[in-house]
């Protein structure tokens, strides 16, 4: 059977049990990819497996993985690579989003945010780069956020974690310049998933089905950086970055 575009390629996704990771897995399956799904909740991944096979995935690998355990990241990545043969795309997506003002949010939650969104993300990218160096090509995708553009009240730990994601990928993109290794940073605005369902307001929120499709379209187009959806966030992110502190202080 011939499939269009990126048919038959393979993708490794962290945080595939819910939200954007789950929806990207469905979207990649529809496009005929071989997919490796990881998250801590193995039961959710096992439940997703038949749907992906039915949607057109050419092969499905699932494994439990806590990205904050770097030894586990190395092991699970090696297992996925052995199953997939080559790994064309790695989507470092796993993330959490505790909100609370600094000095009020339990510090354990701030630490968990950094452990998952920064250390776990870096461990995933590190495993991807070792694999890509050996196979001679690859595409790293990091899921950042529009929260990376400006630290906001109650979003200190989350914003710091996403600024770290964006800066880390900027460095990696420069390191890979001119090589067959591509680096993409995707910065969603509000996409309807469990991570933001408790938020007081979710401006310009879009459904997860639309978000997953936009993310995979951007990955297949191999963009360097994009907000998701592109509008109005490409403009708003830049505006938020230059707002006076007195204006930002009124948020939330
Ligand atoms: N939705 C939005 O509006 C939005 C906006 C900007 C950025 N983002 C980013 O998009 C990414 C996905 O979020 P989402 O919206 O899809 O939220 P979600 O529905 O809550 O999904 C988060 C995913 O991350 C996984 N995860 C959390 N901690 C993990 C850990 N220690 N190890 C491995 N996996 C872990 C979860 O799986 P398990 O619990 O099974 O491990 C789950 O699959 C995050 O990085 C988030 O910051 C989302």
Query: pTM for the complete prediction?
Result: 0.97
- Tokens 């354990």: give the residue: 108
148 SS3 class: helix
Query: Is pLDDT above 50 for 198?
Result: yes
94 SS3 class: coil
- 215 Cβ closer than 6 Å to some ligand 1 atom: no
- The token pair at 38 is 């990881």
Q: 103 alpha carbon to ligand 1 midpoint, in Å? A: 24
Q: Compute the distance between CA of residue 10 and CA of residue 108 in angstroms, rounded to an integer.
A: 36
CA diameter of the chain: 59
Does the active-site annotation cover 33?
A: no
16 SS3 class: coil
Query: Is pLDDT above 90 for 48?
Result: yes
- 145 Cβ closer than 6 Å to some ligand 1 atom: yes
CB atoms within 10 A of CB 104: 7
- Looking at residue 4, its pLDDT comes to 39
- Looking at residue 200, its pLDDT comes to 86
Pick the CATH number of 10-248 from 1.10.357.10, 3.30.430.20, 3.40.50.720, 3.30.56.10: 3.40.50.720
Average pLDDT score, the chain: 96
Where does the pLDDT of residue 1 fall: very low under 50, low under 70, confident under 90, or very high at 90 and above? very low
Query: Is pLDDT above 60 for 149?
Result: yes
Q: What is the mean pLDDT of residues 214-235?
A: 98
> Looking at the chain, how many residues does it have?
252
Q: 9 alpha carbon to ligand 1 midpoint, in Å? A: 24
- Looking at residue 251, its pLDDT comes to 86
Query: Is pLDDT above 90 for 8?
Result: no
- Looking at residue 137, its pLDDT comes to 98
For a mutational test of ligand 1's pocket, the pick from 76, 95, 203, i.e. the residue with the most ligand atoms closer than 8 A to its C-beta, is 95
Q: 95 alpha carbon to ligand 1 midpoint, in Å? A: 4
Query: Is pLDDT above 90 for 3?
Result: no
| Per-residue pLDDT tens over the stretch 79-120 | 999 999 999 999 999 999 999 999 999 999 999 999 999 999
| Per-residue pLDDT tens over the stretch 57-79 | 999 999 999 999 999 999 999 99
- 155 Cβ closer than 6 Å to some ligand 1 atom: no
Q: Which atom of ligand 1 is nearest to the CA of 112?
A: 31
- 185 Cβ closer than 6 Å to some ligand 1 atom: no
Q: 121 alpha carbon to ligand 1 midpoint, in Å? A: 11
- Looking at residue 252, its pLDDT comes to 66
Q: Compute the distance between CA of residue 234 and CA of residue 246 in angstroms, rounded to an integer.
A: 23
- Looking at residue 210, its pLDDT comes to 98
Where does the pLDDT of residue 2 fall: very low under 50, low under 70, confident under 90, or very high at 90 and above? very low
Q: Where are the domains of the chain?
A: 10-248
H or E segment to which residue 132 belongs: helix 121-135
- Tokens 């490796």: give the residue: 36
Percent of the chain clearing pLDDT 90 (strictly above): 95
């Amino acid at each position: 059977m011939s499939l269009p575009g990126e048919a038959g390629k393979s993708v490794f996704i962290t945080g595939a049990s819910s939200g954007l990771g789950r929806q990207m897995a469905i979207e990649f399956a529809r496009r005929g990819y071989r997919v490796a799904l990881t998250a801590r909740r193995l039961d959710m991944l096992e439940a997703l497996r038949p749907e992906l096979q039915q949607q057109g995935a050419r092969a499905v690998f699932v494994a439990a993985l806590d990205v904050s355990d770097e030894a586990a990241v190395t092991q699970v990545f090696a297992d996925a690579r052995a199953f997939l043969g080559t790994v064309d795309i790695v989507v470092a997506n796993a993330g959490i989003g505790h909100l609370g003002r600094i000095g009020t949010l339990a510090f354990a939650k701030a630490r968990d945010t950094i452990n998952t969104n920064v250390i776990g993300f870096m461990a995933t990218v590190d495993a991807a780069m070792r694999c890509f160096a050996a196979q001679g090509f690859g595409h790293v995708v990091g899921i950042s956020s529009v929260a990376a553009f400006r630290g906001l009240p109650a979003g200190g730990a989350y914003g710091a974690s996403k600024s770290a994601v964006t800066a880390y990928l900027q460095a990696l993109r420069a390191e890979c310049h001119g090589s067959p290794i591509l680096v993409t940073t995707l910065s969603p605005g509000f996409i309807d998933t469990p991570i933001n369902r408790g938020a007081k307001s979710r401006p310009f929120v879009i459904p997860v089905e639309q978000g997953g499709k936009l993310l995979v379209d951007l990955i297949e187009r191999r963009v360097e950086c994009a907000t998701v959806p592109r509008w109005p966030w490409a403009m708003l992110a830049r505006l938020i970055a230059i707002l006076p502190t007195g204006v930002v202080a009124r948020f939330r």
